[in-house]
Structure 1
Amino acid sequence: MKITDIKTIRAEQYLFVQVYTDEGITGLGESGTWAYLEASEAVIHRFKHYLIGQNPLQIEHHWQYLYRAHHFRGSAIMGALAAIDIALWDIAGKYHNVPSYMLLGGKCRDKVRTYFHVIGDSTEKLVEGCIRAKELGFTAVGHLTPFLDDGRDAVYNETYVQKMTRAADRVRRYREAVGDEVDICLELHRRMSPAEAIVLGQEVAPYHPYFYEDPVLPDNMDSMAWVAEHINIPIATGERLLNIQEFSMLLRRNAVHFVRPCVCAAGGLSHAKKVAALAEAFNVQVVPHNPLGPVSTAVSVQLAACIPNFAIQEYSNIESSEIVKKPVELKDGYLIVPDAPGIGVELQEDLEKRHPYRMRQLKTKLNYDGSVVDR
């Protein structure tokens, strides 16, 4: 079997790739480079020159060849590599007529616990979102910020005491809204200094958050480790990390309790499985990053199915049948591990026409004084 063609598909705010073979088997993948999908698309077309004519089943060799071919790497390259890698695992599963996870060690679980995205630009909307998630059968809510999802156009202007007291009070209200039947996964959006993160972490600890995600910028792992050392809440981070070396440095500093590899950004299933194995050695669990669509969800479920240290899956796309023909089944807050060959989903026909691509605009939030707010 040989690769005969590679095509990219832009739809809504997603970038998909289709890899075609001379045996009629097609593989589907997705890039998770978020706001720079156009850059990943260009890299995919560069990769195409090497991949045409290759055996798609030599997945690890192709991964190493593309990763190590040149000297410079980054998110655009890793997102492109992830998309290709996922598509090759899709082909391999279809070739052997098994789900991709069966080729990665087999199934460790039958269903995958999820947390539901709760978003709102007011405390009331966020509390209502928590209640709605509970009513829908979810046992966890996430992407849940103490700082409001007030948009990038809204200028930020709070005193330190307002920032801390309002954030802590919101977390109290989230917990009161759902009781002890729902876990709350706090998303801090890198909005604090290390000192602020410690203060707020100590304030909200009595409400038992499941984890405290990205309290500070993840670029400085020593800062993340310092925060972890001074609070009694598990830290989740890793969505911006791209390779096992970065995850290794994070783990060796005891800076994380839940690693968050993005399968569509950190090199695909091949590399995310290695990240999970590395985390397992440190008794750390895995929460796959998944702010994307139903293809990303399907791939994340393939990973969650075959690793022993999976914790919970980010899930943001209840309404996903417009993108794929048969989304992964959701039941009572759990995604059912599919038994279809490959990654288990296929794109709808004429997707680009029915759901035109929308480029993410270059825009960030500002403080009252005009300086940049980290998000």
Structure 2
Amino acid sequence: MKSSTHRITSVEALHVGQFLYARIRTEAGLTGFGEAGSWGHIEAAKAALEKFGEYLVGKDANQIERHWNVMQRFSHFRGTAVNAAVSAIDIALWDLLGKRLQVPVWQLLGGAYRDKLRVYGHVYAETLDEVLADCRRLRAEGFTAIGHINPFLDEPEGDVYFRSFAGKVRDAKERVMAFREAVGPDVDLLIEMHRRLNPAEAIAIGQVLEPLTPMWLEDPLRPEFYTQMTTVGHAIRVPVATGERFSTPAEFHLQLAGGGVRYARTSVCVCGGITGAKKIAALAEAQNVDIAPHNPLSPISLAACMQVAASVPNFAIQEYPTGFENLVLKSGQNLLGSDLVKNHPVPKEGFITVPDAPGIGVELVDDVEHRRAPLHRPVSMRSTIDGAPLDQ
């Protein structure tokens, strides 16, 4: 039997700084929060969120799976921007359900499989010296793993790029060796490639990095090259991590079916929210692959990731972003977007405690839409020396 107190009265899309939130209210006076992860196309995601909001007003907030399917299938025109909007709404609906039942979302997903979650710290830096300083700081703060650590550095987009094949391989080996020396033998290094390589480069670099025991090599190729990513994964012993730009469970199925990928980088705010991430975790579990939720976003995203990570057996590690404020590739000491929420998890000795508050456990501040002016990312790419665009 349906109850009017569970019906949705409003769906708002809030563009706050570099973040896009869904705020959904019901007739019972409850408010649910979600976040969309398509910051490159935040305007399109906001438009999709508002359109889905028109569909949702007056509907039963409890019918999460039904709404997820309607939003995915009503026209079958999807993609990252659309699925980011679906994700934000889905997270907010789970938040509402947990609050209505007065339980954390992970309880609704099957209960807590673990009590705390391992996290890795972030590095954003333009020079090797800055990277090494950030690595030492994060190690001193208790992190047992350091990620978003790029042997090609986060150089300015305006700098023209060129490295020979041999130069790329040498740079990767020498710089990752420096990373390893900075953190010692027991801190895990999560090497980020940002889709910059071709298969030959990825295989050569993966082979020379093997003695330095990185935990993974992330996104060596562009995400649309499923077969080539599998080839790279089978050719090197360093585990390959990918998936942060996949927006559907079907894409993960295509990538995981061939083997070669050892970590599934589920973007909970892009792949269909908590509903989509739970489906992806099950697909990965069937392949004996661990998930490592992708989170370069605010504490709302982190809270949603934590609900899934707490409830599945095949969780490896959670991204904990410090830096990238206002889309500037600089490291920081505070959780990204922490001024926009009332509370957020804080790491202790490299772990965060699974929250037991109702819903996703993190709330936006009441006047969040007035805290930061909307940021818009212009369309631009770095160039190589011959004028071609470069993934970075």
The TM-score with structure 1 as length reference comes to: 0.98
Matched with 2:331 is none
Describe how 1:198-277 pairs up with structure 2 within 5 A.
198-277=203-282
One-letter code aligned to 2:367:
D
How far 1:77 moved relative to its partner?
A: 1.0
CA distance in 2 between partners of 1:10 and 1:300 (Å) = 20
Are 1:366 and 2:378 matched, yes or no?
Answer: no
One-letter code aligned to 1:367:
T
Give the one of 341, 350, 357 matched to 2:358: 341
Are 1:301 and 2:300 matched, yes or no?
Answer: no
Are 1:73 and 2:90 matched, yes or no?
Answer: no
How far 1:151 moved relative to its partner?
A: 2.2
How far 1:116 moved relative to its partner?
A: 0.5
Give the one of 16, 20, 27 matched to 1:22: 27
The answer on whether the counterparts of 1:222 and 1:255 sit within 8 Å (CA) in structure 2 is no
The answer on whether the counterparts of 2:217 and 2:239 sit within 8 Å (CA) in structure 1 is yes
The answer on whether the counterparts of 2:144 and 2:188 sit within 8 Å (CA) in structure 1 is yes
Are 1:110 and 2:110 matched, yes or no?
Answer: no
One-letter code aligned to 2:53:
K
Describe how 1:53-72 pairs up with structure 2 within 5 A.
53-72=58-77
How far 1:330 moved relative to its partner?
A: 2.2
Are 1:174 and 2:209 matched, yes or no?
Answer: no
SS of corresponding position for 1:50: helix
One-letter code aligned to 1:172:
M
CA distance in 1 between partners of 2:267 and 2:107 (Å) = 20
Give unpaired runs (5+ residues) of structure 1. Answer: none
CA distance in 2 between partners of 1:122 and 1:71 (Å) = 44
SS of corresponding position for 2:338: coil
Matched with 1:36 is 41
State the Cα deviation string for residues 310-331 of structure 1 (Å, max 9, x = none).
0000110434431101112322
Give unpaired runs (5+ residues) of structure 2. Answer: 1-5, 323-333
Residues 321 and 229 of structure 1: CA distance in aligned 2, closer, same or farther (over 3 Å): closer
State the Cα deviation string for residues 173-210 of structure 1 (Å, max 9, x = none).
11111112210000011111100100011111000000
How far 1:304 moved relative to its partner?
A: 0.7
Structure 1 stretch 124-133 or stretch 159-168: which is displaced more? 159-168
One-letter code aligned to 1:207:
L
The TM-score with structure 2 as length reference comes to: 0.94
How far 1:157 moved relative to its partner?
A: 2.1
SS of corresponding position for 2:344: coil
Describe how 1:88-167 pairs up with structure 2 within 5 A.
88-167=93-172
The answer on whether the counterparts of 2:122 and 2:146 sit within 8 Å (CA) in structure 1 is yes
How far 1:124 moved relative to its partner?
A: 1.1
How far 1:161 moved relative to its partner?
A: 2.0
State the Cα deviation string for residues 36-78 of structure 1 (Å, max 9, x = none).
1110111111112211111101100111111111131111110
One-letter code aligned to 1:124:
D
How far 1:30 moved relative to its partner?
A: 0.5
The answer on whether the counterparts of 1:301 and 1:335 sit within 8 Å (CA) in structure 2 is no
Structure 1 stretch 164-173 or stretch 83-92: which is displaced more? 164-173
Matched with 2:342 is 325
CA distance in 2 between partners of 1:124 and 1:52 (Å) = 52
CA distance in 1 between partners of 2:366 and 2:67 (Å) = 29
RMSD, matched Cα: 1.0
State the Cα deviation string for residues 122-155 of structure 1 (Å, max 9, x = none).
1111111111110010000000111011021211
Q: Which aligned segments of 4 or more residues in structure 1 are displaced greater than 6 angstroms?
A: none
SS of corresponding position for 2:241: strand
One-letter code aligned to 2:340:
I
Structure 1 stretch 231-240 or stretch 324-333: which is displaced more? 324-333
The answer on whether the counterparts of 2:119 and 2:347 sit within 8 Å (CA) in structure 1 is no
SS of corresponding position for 2:35: strand
CA distance in 1 between partners of 2:346 and 2:149 (Å) = 24
CA distance in 2 between partners of 1:330 and 1:171 (Å) = 25
Give the one of 194, 197, 206 matched to 2:199: 194
